[in-house]
């Protein structure tokens, strides 16, 4: 995750931590300026801003309950800031084997697709 975030910054993007969205705060908001067709040589004209929400949770309850609550929260944050994608990252600090903790799946909350990552 840290290596990806470093590439965002090196590529001209921004990472907002604990970004306030109304009454809540998303853990990470990635803001990525992207040149669109017809952008000038300097790359400033015709840019659009892409936004991605990353919500992080530590597993305290059951995995399914943590996912359900995290999906609702992530979908709400995505809606508030008009993000095009959302990622829910769940950190499991238990003594289980690493292979048992690592997963990726796509879920949906309120009609919004969200990537769920287990670590």
Q: What is the dihedral of CA 17, 21, 25, 26, to 10 degrees?
A: -60
Residues 6 or more apart in contact with residue 94 via CB below 8 angstroms: 59, 101
Residue pLDDT, tens place only, 61-83: 899 999 999 999 999 999 988 99
Return the ∠ at Cα 18 (arms to 108 and 22), rounded to 5°.
70
Could you give the CA distance from residue 14 to residue 55 in angstroms, rounded to a whole number? Answer: 16
Q: Supply the mean pLDDT for the chain.
A: 86
pLDDT at residue 68 in the model? 96
Residue pLDDT, tens place only, 16-33: 887 665 566 678 899 988
pLDDT at residue 110 in the model? 87
What's the domain count of the chain? 1
Residue 50 burial (CB count, 10 A): 14
- For range 96-102, the mean pLDDT: 88
pLDDT at residue 37 in the model? 66
Q: Which domain holds residue 80?
A: 2-118
Q: Which pair of structure tokens corresponds to residue 35?
A: 């040149």
């Amino acid at each position: 995750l840290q290596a990806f975030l470093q590439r965002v910054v090196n590529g001209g993007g921004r990472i907002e931590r604990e970004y306030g969205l109304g009454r809540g705060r998303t853990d990470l908001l990635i803001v990525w300026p992207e040149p669109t067709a017809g952008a000038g040589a300097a790359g400033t004209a015709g840019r659009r801003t892409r936004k991605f929400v990353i919500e992080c949770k530590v597993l305290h309850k059951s995995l399914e309950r943590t996912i359900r609550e995290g999906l609702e929260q992530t979908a709400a944050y995505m809606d508030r800031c008009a993000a095009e994608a959302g990622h829910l990252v769940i950190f499991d600090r238990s003594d289980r084997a690493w292979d048992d903790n690592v997963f990726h799946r796509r879920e949906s909350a309120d009609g919004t697709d969200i990537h769920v990552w287990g670590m």
